[in-house]
C-alpha cells in the first residue's frame, strides 16, 4: 500500500454545502512533502511498469470491487462533500466509476498491444514497422469538485494500467472524496508510491508539479479556462504535455418533430441534475417556433414539481451548490439577463430553513438573447435560458456563437437529420435525443473544441493519452550490405532513384517500364561490398 506522507497540523475543514455541517478534516501537505512524493513516484514507476499487465489488472480490479462493496458509504461521502443527492452520487459517480474501471481492465491489453503499420510504398517492402505504447512515467491529475470521483477515475485507472505512477490532487472543497479514493487505492494493495494523494492549494500544486527541476511527465487538469491557461503556460517552461478539460456552455437544439415529453425531461435532467454543475450539461436551449409554446408549458410544469434541499431520505431532486462563490457567479449572470429584458418562466422556491446553506433556486429564463452573459458564458448552476428560433439554421448559428465547445445535443424524430445538424455544432461531443450521458459511457471519448480544452479522456482515445507512441522499424534483409540510396553516390544511383519515381508515378505505361529498368539496375548494389 502507498506510504502516507508526514503532514503538519494544518487541516482543511470539510463541510456539507447542503447543511453547513462539518463532515471531516484533511491534512494539508507542505511543498517539500509534495516534491518528495513526486521523487518517490518517479522512483517507483519503472518497477510498476515492468509488472505484467495481468498483474496490474488484478490490482485495479480490486478498486472496482471496493466500489461495489462500499457503494452506499462512497455515495454518502460524495453527497455530503459536494451537496448533491445520493441518487446522483450513485448514478453519475459510483456506478460509472465501477463501469469504467471494469472497461479499462478488460480493454487494456487491446489498447496497449503493438500495432503493425501497413507499408506505404513498394520501395520499402523490406521494412516492417510497429507502434508500441510507452507510459509517460509520472502522471499528474488535478480533479474538480463537481464530480470528484467520476471525473478523476477516468484518468487514474488508465494511467495506472498503462504503467504510470500517479500524483493526484482533488479540489479543497471535496477532500473527503479525495481521501476515499486514497482509501480505495490502499485497499487494492498497490505497491508503495504508485499512487499519492496530495492536499495542496491549487496554485501551489501547479507550480510544484511543473517545476523545471522536478516535474511530472504529463499533466491532466479539469477546471476553468483561466486556470487551464495558467497551467499550460507553466507547463510550457519544461514542455510538459497537458490534457485540459475546461468546461462548456452547451446548447440543446429542439427540432419541430422532437418528442416533447422526452425533450423536456432530458432538458431538466441534463441541465439541472447536480444543481447544474456539469461542464457537459445543458445550459442554453434553442426551440423551434412551431413547438416553442407547448415545450415551454411542459417545462414550466415539470420544473415546478422539483424538490430542492438537503438529501435525507432520497426525498429531493436537486441538491446544493458546492461553493458559495459559484452562487455569486450565477446571481451575477441572472441579474445581467433580467436587466436586459429576460423574464423568469419558472423558479423553485428554497425552503427558508435552508437559507444559510449553498442553495440557488432552479430558474428558467425566457426572452433571453446573446447580449446576455447567461447565453455566452458558462453558468454552472441550476439555471436554463430558453430561446425561440425561426428555424434550425438559426439554432446552429446561435449554438456556435460561443468560445466554448464541449458538448451539444439535437432532439428530433428523424435521427439522420439530427445527426447532420449535430455534426455542424462546433463541439467535441454530440448526442441525439440525449445529453451529458456519454460522460458515463467509458467507451466514448470526452473532450471539446475551442476553449473547452485540449486532448481527450475516456475510451481508447483517452487511454492513448496515458502513453507515448514509439515506432520500431525492422529490416527483412539484414544480410544486405547497404540500402539502395546509401553512399557512394554516382550518376547511376541518381538515375535509378529517378527511375523509382517514374515507376511509381509515371503518366504512361512506357514511362513506368523505363523507370522499372532503371530502378532494377540498382538492386545489385545492395549486396555488393
Q: Which string of DSSP letters, residue by residue, matches 199-247? A: ---HHHHHHHHB-SSSB-SEEEEES-HHHHHHHHHHHHTTT--EEEE--
Length of the chain: 529
Task: Output the nine-digit C-alpha cell for 431.
Answer: 448526442
> Which is the catalytic residue, given 33, 173, 245, 377?
245
Angle at which helix 53-69 crosses helix 150-161, to 10 degrees, equals 160
Judging by DSSP bridges, how do beta strands 282-288 and 383-389 pair with one another?
Answer: parallel
- Looking at the DSSP bridge assignments, the partners of residue 474 are 128
Q: Which string of DSSP letters, residue by residue, matches 378-414? A: ---SSEEEEEEESSHHHHHHHHT-SSEESEEEEE-S-
Does residue 284 contact residue 349 with C-beta atoms inside 8 Å? no
Does residue 333 contact residue 312 with C-beta atoms inside 8 Å? no
Does residue 94 contact residue 68 with C-beta atoms inside 8 Å? no
C-alpha to C-alpha distance for 232 and 475, rounded to whole angstroms: 40
322 is a catalytic site residue = no
279 is a catalytic site residue = yes
CA distances in angstroms from 288 to 238, 390, 418, listed in the order given: 50, 6, 13
Cis peptide before 488 (omega within 30 of 0): yes
Under 8 Å CB-to-CB from 266, ≥6 apart: which residues?
A: 252, 282, 409, 411, 433, 434, 435
Does residue 210 contact residue 238 with C-beta atoms inside 8 Å? yes
C-alpha to C-alpha distance for 33 and 7, rounded to whole angstroms: 8
Sign of torsion, CA 388 391 395 397?
negative
- Whose cell is 476553449? That residue is 451
Q: Which of 218, 214, 242 is nearest to 38 (CA)?
A: 214
C-alpha to C-alpha distance for 329 and 380, rounded to whole angstroms: 9
> Which is the catalytic residue, given 14, 105, 255, 279?
279
Residues marked as catalytic: 245, 279
Amino acid at each position: 500500500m502507498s506510504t502516507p506522507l508526514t503532514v503538519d497540523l494544518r487541516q482543511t475543514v470539510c463541510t456539507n454545502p447542503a447543511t453547513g455541517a462539518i463532515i471531516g478534516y484533511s491534512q494539508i501537505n507542505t511543498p517539500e512533502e509534495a516534491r518528495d512524493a513526486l521523487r518517490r513516484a518517479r522512483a517507483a514507476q519503472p518497477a510498476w511498469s515492468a509488472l505484467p499487465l495481468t498483474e496490474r489488472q488484478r490490482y485495479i480490479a480490486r478498486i472496482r470491487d471496493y466500489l461495489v462493496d462500499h457503494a452506499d458509504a462512497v455515495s454518502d461521502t460524495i453527497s455530503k462533500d459536494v451537496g448533491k443527492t445520493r441518487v446522483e452520487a450513485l448514478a453519475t459517480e459510483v456506478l460509472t466509476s465501477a463501469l469504467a474501471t471494469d472497461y479499462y481492465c478488460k480493454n487494456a491489453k487491446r489498447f496497449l498491444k503493438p500495432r503493425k503499420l501497413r507499408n506505404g510504398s513498394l520501395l520499402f517492402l523490406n521494412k516492417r514497422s510497429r507502434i508500441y505504447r510507452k507510459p509517460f512515467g509520472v502522471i499528474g491529475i488535478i480533479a474538480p469538485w463537481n464530480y470528484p470521483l467520476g471525473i478523476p477515475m477516468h484518468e487514474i485507472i488508465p494511467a495506472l494500467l498503462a504503467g504510470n505512477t500517479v500524483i493526484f490532487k482533488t479540489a479543497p472543497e471535496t477532500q473527503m472524496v479525495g481521501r476515499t479514493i486514497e482509501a480505495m487505492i490502499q485497499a487494492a494493495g498497490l505497491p508503495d508510491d504508485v499512487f499519492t494523494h496530495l492536499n495542496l492549494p491549487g496554485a501551489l500544486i501547479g507550480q510544484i508539479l511543473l517545476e523545471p527541476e522536478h516535474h511530472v511527465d504529463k499533466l491532466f487538469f479539469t477546471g476553468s479556462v483561466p486556470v487551464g491557461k495558467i497551467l499550460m503556460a507553466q507547463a510550457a517552461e519544461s514542455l510538459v504535455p497537458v490534457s485540459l478539460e475546461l468546461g462548456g456552455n452547451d446548447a440543446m437544439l429542439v427540432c419541430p418533430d422532437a418528442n416533447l415529453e422526452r425533450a423536456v425531461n432530458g432538458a431538466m435532467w441534463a441541465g439541472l441534475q447536480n444543481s447544474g454543475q456539469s461542464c457537459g450539461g445543458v445550459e442554453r436551449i434553442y426551440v423551434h417556433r412551431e413547438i416553442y409554446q407547448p415545450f415551454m408549458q411542459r417545462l414550466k410544469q415539470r420544473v415546478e414539481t422539483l424538490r430542492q434541499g438537503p438529501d435525507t431520505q432520497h426525498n429531493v431532486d436537486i441538491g446544493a451548490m458546492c461553493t458559495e462563490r459559484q452562487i455569486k457567479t450565477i446571481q451575477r449572470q441572472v441579474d445581467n439577463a433580467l436587466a436586459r429584458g429576460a423574464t423568469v418562466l419558472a423558479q423553485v422556491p428554497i425552503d427558508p430553513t435552508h437559507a444559510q446553506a449553498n442553495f440557488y433556486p432552479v430558474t428558467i429564463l425566457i426572452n433571453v438573447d446573446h447580449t446576455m452573459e447567461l447565453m455566452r458564458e458558462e453558468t454552472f448552476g441550476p439555471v436554463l435560458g430558453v430561446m425561440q428560433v425561426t428555424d434550425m439554421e438559426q439554432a446552429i448559428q446561435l449554438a456556435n456563437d460561443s468560445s466554448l465547445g464541449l458538448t451539444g445535443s439535437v432532439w428530433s424524430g428523424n435521427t439522420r437529420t439530427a445527426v447532420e445538424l449535430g455534426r455542424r455544432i462546433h463541439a467535441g461531443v454530440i448526442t441525439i435525443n440525449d445529453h451529458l450521458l456519454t460522460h458515463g459511457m467509458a467507451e466514448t471519448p470526452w473532450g471539446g473544441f475551442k476553449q473547452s480544452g485540449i486532448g481527450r479522456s475516456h475510451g481508447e482515445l483517452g487511454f492513448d493519452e496515458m502513453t507515448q507512441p514509439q515506432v520500431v522499424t525492422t529490416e527483412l534483409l539484414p544480410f544486405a550490405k547497404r540500402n539502395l540510396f546509401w553512399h557512394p553516390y554516382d550518376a547511376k544511383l541518381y538515375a535509378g532513384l529517378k527511375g523509382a519515381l517514374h515507376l511509381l508515378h509515371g503518366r504512361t505505361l512506357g514511362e513506368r517500364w523505363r523507370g522499372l529498368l532503371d530502378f532494377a539496375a540498382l538492386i545489385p548494389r545492395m549486396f555488393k561490398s
